[in-house]
Chains A and B, each alone.
Chain A
Amino acid sequence: DAGVTQSPTHLIKTRGQQVTLRCSPKSGHDTVSWYQQALGQGPQFIFQYYEEEERQRGNFPDRFSGHQFPNYSSELNVNALLLGDSALYLCASSLLTGGYNEQFFGPGTRLTVL
């Protein structure tokens, strides 16, 4: 049973560029959440996708956008990269039911912006 997978594992970009990160949820899960973890900080919620729509959003600018596909996989897009966007980007998947739904994290994509 495959867990959450993310690609690529590492990425180096320069300021102003755009980046797309990918996530495949754990088998049987239908919801994908994205988090940004800067060095020395805890992960911060970016947004969550369910049924191909953004269900919740954290306090991130519009440069951060996402998408969910019919097979439940998801992409995170970041435009006009800033140095401060350098971080570990974590994807977490869950199965939406009543109440809180445990989230399982992928290994992350480490983005470096130069």
Chain B
Amino acid sequence: RKEVEQDPGPFNVPEGATVAFNCTYSNSASQSFFWYRQDCRKEPKLLMSVYSSGNEDGRFTAQLNRASQYISLLIRDSKLSDSATYLCVVNSHNTDKLIFGTGTRLQVFP
């Protein structure tokens, strides 16, 4: 079983749609959680950190459920520029080792 599991997609949605991505992780010792965005043939870039209390950044909302070991990302009012691969990432206590999921590909069409 992979340490971080995501639906690879692709998710094809029209502009303006709301789309949600989910991710599960297997190591209960994981301490920090993130969503990264990766454009085609580019490096991953931090989109947002994820907290149990939930956090929002504009059209993006991330949520963590430690009991279920589940992380989510909600994108509202999708833009063409949101088309990318979204990587779910965790790391364990006292380590900087990042563990990535395979990524979920999002394609927003006009």
Contact = CB atoms under 8 A, between A and B. Distances in A.
Interface residues on A, range: 20 to 34
Interface residues of B, number: 22
B43 A48 contact: no
A45 B97 contact: yes
Interface string A75-112: 00000000000000010101010001111011110100
B7 to A, nearest CB: 13
A76 B96 CA distance: 18
Given A56-B97, A100-B31, A105 B43 contact: yes
A33 B95 CA distance: 12
Contacts, number: 52
A101 B45 CA distance: 14
A27 B81 CA distance: 29
B61 interface: no
B100 A42 contact: yes
Interface of B: 4, 8, 31-32, 41-46, 87, 89, 91, 95-103
Interface of A: 31, 33, 35, 40-45, 48, 56, 58, 90, 92, 94, 96, 100-103, 105-108, 110
Closest CB pairs A-B (n = 4): A42-B100, A105-B43, A100-B32, A45-B97
